Amino acid sequence: MERLGKYQICAGIILFLIGSIPLFVTGIEAGRDAWLVMLTGMLAGLFFVWVYLYIQHNEPESSLIQIIRKHFGKYIGTVIAILYVLHFAYQAMRNTRDFGDLIVLTLMPESPLFLIMLIMMIISTYAVYQGTEVFFRTLEILFPIVIISFFTLILFFFLSGVLNFQLLLPVLENGLMPVLKAAVPNVAMTPFAQIAVFLMFWKYLNNKKYLTKYTLIAYIFTGLFLVLYNILIVAIIGAPLASISTVPLLRAVPLIQIGGFLERLDPIFVIVLVLCLYTKMTVFYLGAVLALAELLNKSHRKVFLLVGAVIYGASFIPANYIEHIWVGFQISHNYDFVLFQAVIPVILLLIIMVKKKSSKQKNGLSQT
Partner 1 sequence: MGLFRKRKRQGGKIQEKQAVEQEGDSLSSQLDGNIKKIKELTGNTDDVMYRSVTIRGNYRLLLVYIEGISEVDRINTVINTLLQSNENEDLPVLNENENLINSLEERLLAISRCSYVENTDDLLTELLSGNTVIIADGFTRAISCNTPGGKRRAVEEPSTETVIRGPKDGFTEDIRTNISLIRDRIKTPDLWYKIKKVGKQTQTDVAVMYINNIADRRLVKEVVERLESIETDSILESNYIEEFIQDETYTLFPQIQNKERPDAVAAALLEGRVAIIVNGTPFALIAPVTLAMLMQTAEDYYQRPLFVTFLRLLRTFSFFVAMLLPGVYIAITTHHQEMLPTVLLFSLAAQREGVPFPAIVEALLMEVTFEILREAGVRMPKAIGASISIVGALVLGQAAVEAGVVSAVMVIIVSFTAITNFIIPTYNLSVAVRLLRFAFMILSAAFGFLGILAGLLILLIHLAGLRSFGVPYLTPMAPFILSEQKDTFFRFPLWALNARPESLNPENKRRMSANMKPSPPKKESS
Give, in order, the Cα–Cα distances in Å from 317 to each of 94, 165, 170, 310, 320. 10, 41, 42, 11, 9
> Which one, 227 or 289, has the nearer CB to partner 1?
289
In the complex, minimum distance from the CB of residue 246 to partner 1, in angstroms, rounded to a whole number: 18
d(CA 223, CA 40): 10
In the complex, minimum distance from the CB of residue 279 to partner 1, in angstroms, rounded to a whole number: 11
> Which one, 107 or 159, has the nearer CB to partner 1?
107
In the complex, minimum distance from the CB of residue 285 to partner 1, in angstroms, rounded to a whole number: 13
> Which one, 192 or 278, has the nearer CB to partner 1?
278
CB distance 299 to 293 below 8 Å: yes
d(CA 76, CA 68): 9
> Which one, 51 or 142, has the nearer CB to partner 1?
142
d(CA 312, CA 139): 22
Q: Is 147 exposed, middle or buried (0-12, 13-18, 19+ CB in 10 A)?
A: middle
In the complex, minimum distance from the CB of residue 186 to partner 1, in angstroms, rounded to a whole number: 31
In the complex, minimum distance from the CB of residue 137 to partner 1, in angstroms, rounded to a whole number: 4
* Interface residue list for partner 1 (CB under 8 A): 5, 7-8, 103, 107-108, 111, 116, 119, 122-123, 126-127, 130-131, 134-135, 137-138, 140-142, 260-261, 263-264, 267, 270-271, 274-275, 278
d(CA 2, CA 202): 12
> Which one, 131 or 238, has the nearer CB to partner 1?
131
> Which one, 209 or 264, has the nearer CB to partner 1?
264
Backbone angles phi, psi at 205, to 5 degrees: -60, 130
In the complex, minimum distance from the CB of residue 318 to partner 1, in angstroms, rounded to a whole number: 21
d(CA 98, CA 326): 12
